């Protein structure tokens, strides 16, 4: 009997190794992340000239990034910009049309030819290996910016806003302008918006620093005006997303407690996301919290992480010395790869990371041997 128990343990471990192998493949396919984003666009030009168009990129990381071999292209082929040079940590990189006079006080990182159509556009950013890093897909209409007042289109936490002042903020922090009415028809509301990450128990003040992150898994911009977010624990609070709010393709919206008035309990709580028609689009819940850790949606389940990432790709990491429980969602993956990143639901990568097959083959062989041995031993015991 002791032999059977031992073989069952080996059998279980082998199955866990096989599951881990496939889980690593899933995570590896999601390692290409958007470290540089299209941050601001002056598609309308300036008060001096409609030709004074410019585009600003931002490095969202704390490390320098070499842009040599990168390109920014429009889908219609009108714009094709070759990039070069280094963009510093949290740095900005300006692209100016035709010459260096679109923003005279700032040296352009690159000069480009081509025109940004005032009715909309679709821009794509690629790295030196032709991986898609970021895109702006508003072919029918720009969601922000004003041609009459020359206010630019600024990205803040994955959502586009009209700048507070004419001329925008080239080379500077975005102005955190307020979303304004868009005269073009509102895009059709579609599915694919998910609750992606929450911080219910920050080490600082709950009243100001709790937040909820939504993510657009679609390849197109989505209007989320009129959508509702509700908490399910205790006295329920409903937050209605204001008019003229858009989510860029694969973009994020971070909603803080002072805005939503939603209080996230530190023990049991949950959230519901509803479409304007009242249909429940997504839900989540938790039964406990970990101080200053965010709760993240992963391909398999929800996972606590010591690295909150509001407005960015989820980063599943655990503090040193903490136990990893294979039965606790995807903690096994964190043990194998200490700081795995998850591409916020359905994020696409052109280069899937490959992993050796030997782990899978050995685990499969052990599993088959153990299963056969267990069956034979049980058969002999029954004959006795």
Over residues 240-246, mean pLDDT:
81
CA distance 14 to 21: 11
Strand segments (E) across 203-326: 211-216, 222-223, 228-231, 238-240, 246-247, 252-256, 269-274, 280-286, 294-297, 302-305, 314-317
User: Residue 6 — very low, low, confident or very high, per pLDDT cuts 50/70/90?
Assistant: low
pLDDT in tens, 36-69: 999 999 999 999 999 999 999 999 988 889 999 9
H-helix or E-strand containing 82?
A: strand 80-82
pLDDT of residue 222: 80
H-helix or E-strand containing 36?
A: strand 36-42
Check: pTM over 0.75? Answer yes or no. Answer: no
Q: Report yes or no: 36 and 133 within 8 Å, Cβ to Cβ.
A: yes
User: Residue 23 — very low, low, confident or very high, per pLDDT cuts 50/70/90?
Assistant: very low
User: Residue 2 — very low, low, confident or very high, per pLDDT cuts 50/70/90?
Assistant: low
pLDDT of residue 329: 37
Over residues 89-109, mean pLDDT:
88
Share of the chain above pLDDT 90, in %: 46
Calculate ∠ Cα 341-362-374, nearest 5°: 115
pLDDT of residue 262: 95
Over residues 346-367, mean pLDDT:
54
pLDDT of residue 45: 92
pLDDT of residue 362: 74
Mean pLDDT estimate for the chain? 79
Over residues 144-162, mean pLDDT:
92
């Amino acid at each position: 009997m002791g032999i059977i128990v031992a073989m069952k343990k080996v059998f279980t471990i082998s199955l866990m190794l096989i599951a881990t192998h496939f889980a690593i493949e899933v995570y590896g396919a999601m390692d290409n992340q958007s470290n540089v984003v299209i941050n601001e666009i002056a598609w309308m030009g300036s008060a001096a000239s409609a030709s004074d168009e410019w585009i600003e990129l931002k490095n969202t990381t704390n490390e320098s990034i070499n842009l040599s071999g990168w390109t920014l292209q429009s889908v219609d082929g009108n714009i094709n910009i070759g990039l070069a040079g280094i963009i510093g940590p949290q740095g900005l990189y300006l692209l100016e049309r035709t010459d260096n006079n679109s923003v005279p006080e700032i040296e352009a990182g690159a000069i480009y030819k081509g025109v940004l159509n005032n009715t909309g556009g679709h821009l794509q950013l690629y790295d030196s290996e032709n991986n898609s890093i970021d895109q702006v897909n508003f072919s029918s209409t720009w969601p922000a910016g004003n041609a009459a007042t020359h206010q630019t289109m600024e990205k803040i936490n994955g959502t586009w806003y009209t700048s507070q002042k004419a001329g925008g903020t080239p080379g500077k922090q975005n102005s955190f302008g307020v979303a304004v009415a868009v005269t073009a028809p509102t895009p059709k509301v579609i599915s694919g918006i998910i609750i992606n990450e929450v911080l219910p128990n920050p080490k600082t003040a709950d009243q100001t620093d709790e937040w909820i992150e939504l993510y657009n898994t679609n390849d197109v911009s989505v209007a989320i005006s009129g959508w509702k977010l509700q908490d399910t624990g205790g006295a329920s609070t409903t937050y209605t997303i204001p008019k003229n709010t858009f989510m860029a393709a694969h973009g994020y919206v971070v909603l803080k407690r002072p805005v939503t008035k939603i209080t996230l309990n530190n023990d049991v709580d949950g959230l519901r996301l509803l479409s304007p028609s009242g249909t429940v689009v997504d839900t989540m819940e938790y039964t406990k919290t970990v101080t200053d850790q965010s709760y993240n949606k992963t391909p398999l389940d929800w996972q606590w992480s010591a690295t909150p990432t509001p407005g960015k790709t989820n980063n599943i990491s655990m503090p040193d010395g903490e136990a990893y429980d294979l039965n606790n969602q995807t903690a096994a993956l964190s043990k194998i790869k200490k700081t795995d990143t998850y591409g916020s639901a359905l994020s696409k990568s052109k280069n899937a990371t490959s992993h050796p097959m030997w782990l899978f083959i050995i685990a499969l062989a052990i599993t088959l041997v153990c299963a056969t041995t267990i069956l034979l031993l049980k058969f002999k015991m029954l004959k006795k």
